A = this chain, B = another copy of it.
């Protein structure tokens, strides 16, 4: 997905929030906005939002001197999500379709996104996501791919959401490689965050090598691309990964909560909708009945 014009003012807002979280005073924040302002002309509209976001958050790191402005908030979100984990396991245990319920929970966790300007309440979000219609649902394809896959590549999004991902990973019943960002960017999940979330117990943690807030393939390591290009089935969490991979020809299932008008427009849904979208839904392979693995 390309960067939309509306993404540009949003990036300025993101820089401001991240700079504040890093403790910059007003003067420093103004310098940050000056620098991000000058950066705009270097952002080609053909690039994806996470590619542009990478440049913005590099500025934030450069000017604040903080490698991980959101570290405290990330840790707090992980702790909060961990307290909810036992209850979520109970919900899945009682569910008529534990896999679908786990998907709904994993999407609920996607609300923990500090790249967008929203407040959230995790318990409310869980309740809502369990009862809410999926605005796009390629669940049948998901089930079929899952059955025929030997292993799953799971692209993580935010810290804290990662605990919700554990619920889904446990429901998949297949070996999973859980993909983290290479360095901290916004509140995206890193190896350390994934370990804190207990994901080390249920998946192999793999870095994509990217410092962007989304799996931008051109910024990933060769090693990761090798895994990505040969995965049987890929689960992609959140907006940043969708923005980076929306045009992929790999079998990717995008699980996200829609938190911005630009992505809503791109997906043809409404803000606050929840989505389970398959990248290849219109492919011949599927129309002819079943995944070509």
Using CB atoms and an 8 Å cutoff, list the residues of chain A in contact with chain B.
Answer: 5-6, 8-10, 12-13, 16, 26, 29-30, 33-34, 36-41, 45
B34 touches A41 (CB 8 A): yes
Distance between A36 CB and nearest chain B CB, rounded to angstroms: 8
A12 with B8, Cβ < 8 A, contacts A38-B41, A41-B37 known? yes
Interface of A is mostly: helix
B6 touches A9 (CB 8 A): no
Task: Give A44's nearest chain B residue, CB to CB.
Answer: B30
Q: Which of B10, B16, B39 contacts A37 (CB 8 A)?
A: B39
Query: Which residues of chain B are within 8 angstroms of A16 by Cβ–Cβ distance?
Result: 5-6, 8-9
B12 touches A29 (CB 8 A): no
Distance between A64 CB and nearest chain B CB, rounded to angstroms: 14
Given contacts A34-B40, A37-B38, 17 further A-B contacts (CB under 8 A): A5-B26, A5-B30, A5-B33, A6-B16, A8-B16, A9-B10, A9-B12, A9-B13, A12-B12, A26-B45, A30-B45, A33-B40, A34-B41, A36-B37, A37-B39, A37-B40, A38-B40
